Structure 1
């Protein structure tokens, strides 16, 4: 019962801090971390212990899979070179920079332990940046690279982390064995994730039930993670692969399944993200109590150095990694050098989050200087969230990276909607030629021809204004219909199940009209 009460209290705190973050216009991960720290220092507040294996296995798979499902596969493949340079190259470079800095400040510190710290804090978490990025209109390529990096960099960091921990505990390390193992666990993780993803798709075709299909997609992330880990493969890569497979097959699910699963996954994502960031803050109090052997100034110097190296090393890697490949004409022709402002934003959007937290807490209890490593990891997470998280929006706007919103519907959207409208019209015209059933189709033809006419002239001011006016009229009519339905239920009574179905239909139609109206008004 106590665990349930704590869980409900934390969820309530997450909602409250998220509302506060919206009110003061700060990224909600920042407010959640600071709020968790404030709660932890309340006198009499019990210390919240988070099992490290539980944190890694419970929080990571769903968050990775939902990001992978939303990933644009075509854009991901197009940007695979910069994604790998960040997800593999930047992670390894950052990890060794952190290790070198720790060795410089503490000469007697073991190299393996220093590399373990570097691996813990090296992978940026796009979830931490998404609270800022989703409010802004950034170039699609930039968003794709950031999201793609976050899908793969966790695997790189966790493999390096495991090797460092094993080397520290066993006292031996082989670079050749590490390289072969990295390739093996990566390829094996892809195979396991692909198999799980395909199984879920095949099961969905047989289930024919939106609730069961959504539940199957939720189980898939954990199945992929645990199956891969059971064979000592990369659970992270398995989850990402399963998510990419499911994302590419979304068209094979029913419209109801897609709509309901989006709502379910949005809720899951918010709850897990919120819980993770508030738990980061709650853990800090207990860690500080166990570092009484260290002087405060010494701890501050170590934490400040690690955080500074973490931020600077990303700049040191990203700028050359963006410029050097484009010195080859073949690469430069297909992928010109992006503006320096885009690269700066890519560097500054390097906040740390759930993976670093889980990896830090997963250190064995007997690991040398465990409390110090966990403390430095938490400080790095906190520093990047507060410093970069609160200034990322300002940096984006200061550098002019945010794209201006177009007036009217975009050319790409208009073209896609026009294709749909013309195909629908051709089918209706074909049906109108039927001698027996053509009368009904003839009645519907004017509506379909009207849609084509409006979409063909969507970028003309007069047509756009007319289209927006029509949508407004439809919304007013929809509201009048809903009001009449509510009065009917109050006056004459109406079966609640029937009321629910009718309300759902009206809600979906309103969402469709508002989305179209938004495209017309922007």
Structure 2
């Protein structure tokens, strides 16, 4: 296919992805499921070329920025506090699932080498960071569950990739050393942390010296691919390297990046992540055509591979439930013996974790990377795609319903200070500083307006913290009027520009001021700033 046609196809796919995402939001279904199904249906449209996805390109193109985004927003305190549970899922559950799948596959195909069966287990065992993020961002979970699932999705790919590498080598050479595999995994993991920390340190050194906002945002984008490529070049885990750099990025950006860069970078990253997530799911669906053609058509695929696909899918789902149930029983037993640090999840939270095992881009990319002469390769490709379809569509689409049915309780102790109290503390600190600089050395008040402004804000936030719900009900009409006033100013600004009375530069400068003013009020109202429809309605139609 000509490069221009390839570019046009990518643009068309992005347009379709936006339409599918919009439709999924209207129908209240996970966008990942709509994109996967829509891409699969689009693949059979007449006249479209056959798309062959290069697995290594898929991983290096899509995985680093999506891992970086997830790591950037990781609540590091909860991540560290729940690290044992995260590792149990990211390592233990992946290994257990791989073993269960390999047993099921060997039972179906006794002639298939055990190493090949384990390779398929490694392919389908790690839940996918992209799929998990796409589904979890649309639901509300208790903080402990959120930390466990987000942490698992960031780390489990490394386990699956290492296990896959050794299983493929064993299937092709007939040699497998479990001790060597464990040692290699530890080296890859620790090396990934070291490389990720070094890349993050270099990034922070550069960030402190850049002054241009565009350069800073561009450099932050390079961080994710730089960490991944550096990890792979050093023959350690690029996944863990990227996650480490992302966590460091999220932790230190508060003191390194100026406010303007943070606002600009956040908007850019939201757009980038949306585009990549949409394209990766629709491209996975698009690749269904090549999988079906390789299997000999739909009828041949169903008659030949339906049983192994259903068996492996059932094994993947059952293995996760078994691991979660076993871990829960062990924690319950340890707590009964008096171990205070053992904190069972409870059957409600355990049930939700058992149902959140969506597979995605890593499973597809790793399956496509199987050597052409690998035993059972076609069966593994079809089975891997079936697992992705089943977990994303079935589990992803029903996760919200499962959460509403089980109603998992948030048993994590809350922080000492809630949002209203924190706002009051910040306002108090600003008032004390304003009070300190408002007087000259002789004690004469020289900045009365500054002092009055911050005194008023400190008093207002103190009243808000004392009774947040009632205070917000009383003050919300005031915010509505402020938005109405801003809307009037915006209308006048546009009138001046449309009549040629001001230059474009003046329009952009004043419009930016109005945008910041509006967003400040939207935050104070408690609205979701990402809900553009709500923000627009609040600011322009009152």
For the residues of structure 1 that align with 2:419 and 2:520, how far apart are their CA atoms?
15
- Structure 1 residue 99 displacement after superposition: 0.7
Q: Establish whether residue 146 from structure 1 lines up as the match of residue 149 from structure 2.
A: yes
For the residues of structure 1 that align with 2:63 and 2:459, how far apart are their CA atoms?
48
Aligned to 1:481: 489
For the residues of structure 2 that align with 1:437 and 1:10, how far apart are their CA atoms?
67
Aligned to 2:257: 253
Q: CA distance change for structure 1 residues 501 and 169 in 2, over 3 Å: closer, same or farther? A: farther
Q: CA distance change for structure 1 residues 334 and 196 in 2, over 3 Å: closer, same or farther? A: same
For the residues of structure 1 that align with 2:204 and 2:404, how far apart are their CA atoms?
42
- Structure 1 residue 441 displacement after superposition: 2.5
Moved more, 368-377 or 312-321: 368-377
Moved more, 75-84 or 442-451: 442-451
Aligned to 2:538: none
Instruction: List aligned pairs for 1:108-507, cutoff 5 A.
Output: 108-251=111-254, 252-292=256-296, 296-329=302-335, 333-334=340-341, 336-401=343-408, 412-434=418-440, 439=445, 441-458=447-464, 459-460=466-467, 462-507=470-515
Q: CA distance change for structure 1 residues 119 and 336 in 2, over 3 Å: closer, same or farther? A: same
- Structure 1 residue 449 displacement after superposition: 2.3
For the residues of structure 1 that align with 2:338 and 2:384, how far apart are their CA atoms?
37
Q: CA distance change for structure 1 residues 94 and 444 in 2, over 3 Å: closer, same or farther? A: same
Root-mean-square deviation (CA, aligned residues, Å) is 2.2
Aligned 8 A contact 1:82 1:322 in 2? no
For the residues of structure 2 that align with 1:451 and 1:6, how far apart are their CA atoms?
53
For the residues of structure 2 that align with 1:464 and 1:286, how far apart are their CA atoms?
56
Aligned 8 A contact 1:396 1:402 in 2? no
Moved more, 221-230 or 305-314: 221-230
Aligned to 1:407: none
- Structure 1 residue 295 displacement after superposition: 6.5
- Structure 1 residue 448 displacement after superposition: 2.0
Aligned to 2:526: 518
For the residues of structure 1 that align with 2:495 and 2:356, how far apart are their CA atoms?
51
Aligned 8 A contact 1:136 1:402 in 2? no
For the residues of structure 2 that align with 1:126 and 1:177, how far apart are their CA atoms?
27
Q: CA distance change for structure 1 residues 262 and 332 in 2, over 3 Å: closer, same or farther? A: farther
Aligned 8 A contact 1:431 1:438 in 2? no
Per the alignment, in what secondary structure is the counterpart of residue 173 of structure 1? coil
Aligned 8 A contact 2:334 2:342 in 1? no
Corresponding residue to 1:44 among 44, 47, 57 = 47
Aligned to 1:25: 28
How many pairs were matched up?
Answer: 515
For the residues of structure 2 that align with 1:56 and 1:130, how far apart are their CA atoms?
16
Normalising by structure 1, report the TM-score.
0.94
For the residues of structure 2 that align with 1:219 and 1:234, how far apart are their CA atoms?
18
Per the alignment, in what secondary structure is the counterpart of residue 447 of structure 2? helix
- Structure 1 residue 481 displacement after superposition: 1.6
- Structure 1 residue 273 displacement after superposition: 1.0
| Unmatched segments (≥5 aa) in structure 2 | 411-415, 529-542
Per the alignment, in what secondary structure is the counterpart of residue 333 of structure 1? coil
Deviations 1:360-411 (A, max 9, x none): 11112222222221111000000111110111111111112387xxxxxx96
Per the alignment, in what secondary structure is the counterpart of residue 135 of structure 1? coil
Corresponding residue to 2:110 among 107, 111, 117 = 107
Normalising by structure 2, report the TM-score.
0.91
Deviations 1:69-118 (A, max 9, x none): 11111110011011000000000000111111000001011111111111
Aligned 8 A contact 1:454 1:463 in 2? no
Per the alignment, in what secondary structure is the counterpart of residue 41 of structure 1? coil
Q: CA distance change for structure 1 residues 230 and 256 in 2, over 3 Å: closer, same or farther? A: same
| Unmatched segments (≥5 aa) in structure 1 | 404-409
Per the alignment, in what secondary structure is the counterpart of residue 340 of structure 2? helix
- Structure 1 residue 258 displacement after superposition: 1.0
